[in-house]
Amino acid sequence: MTYKEIRKNEEVRAYLKKGNENLGVLGYTDHSEVHCVLVAERAAYILKKLDYTEHDIELAKIAGMMHDIGNAINRKQHAEYGALLAGEILKKTDMSLEDRITVMSAIGHHDEGTGTAIDPVSAALILADKTDVRRNRVQNPNKAKFDIHDRVNYAALSSSLKIDQEKRLIQMNLELDDSICSLMDYFEIFLERMLMCKRAAECLNCRFRLVANGSKLC
């Protein structure tokens, strides 16, 4: 089983479509295939820059592509639901039991409410997911009804993740329009996520740094 095959898997795509529709009704930001592809490829970038094996990189990409399928069932405990759904899908493939468990575990640990990094695959997934902050994740067309999550993402003029292999540093660079969202607003909802990123970086024997509007914040 490969990442390319998972991207084309009808069951995965159907779960992601329904999950994003559910979250759109509930007022959440984008959790569609677009988000999952970005997460998969960013997770691969992280592990590749840090010289992890092609096998670990492939598992991280698969976990990234599947990590939000649990939203099709419910937003609450979506990580756990997603892990179980992923296990059922991957059981039908030629993936080994050990690799299936690695992917399931990464998916089951990616939410900041219940999870943490427990191996390189889960760490890369967490870092890739929690650093996806961008304007076009906002699904609410009515700016007057933006919640704080909408404001933070809409205010993101640019965001990027850089890896310094020599210094073992993973740095998120974020530029916010502070007329829309202040740095305090950002930390109000993202502090727990940034702490999760810090722990994930440590799992990769790295440090995590957030630089917002040119200022080093953590």
Quote the number of domains for the chain: 1
Q: pLDDT (tens digit, 9 = 90+) per residue, 134-159? A: 888 888 777 767 777 788 888 888 89
Q: What is the pTM of this model?
A: 0.94
- For 194, the domain range is 3-216
- Residue 136: exposure state from Cβ atoms within 10 A (0-12, 13-18, ≥19): exposed
Q: Which helix (H) or strand (E) holds 64?
A: helix 54-66
CATH number of the domain encompassing residue 63: 1.10.3210.10
Q: pLDDT (tens digit, 9 = 90+) per residue, 98-141? A: 999 999 999 999 999 999 999 999 999 999 999 998 888 888 77
2 half-sphere exposure, CB direction, 13 A CA radius: 3
3-class secondary-structure state, position 164? strand
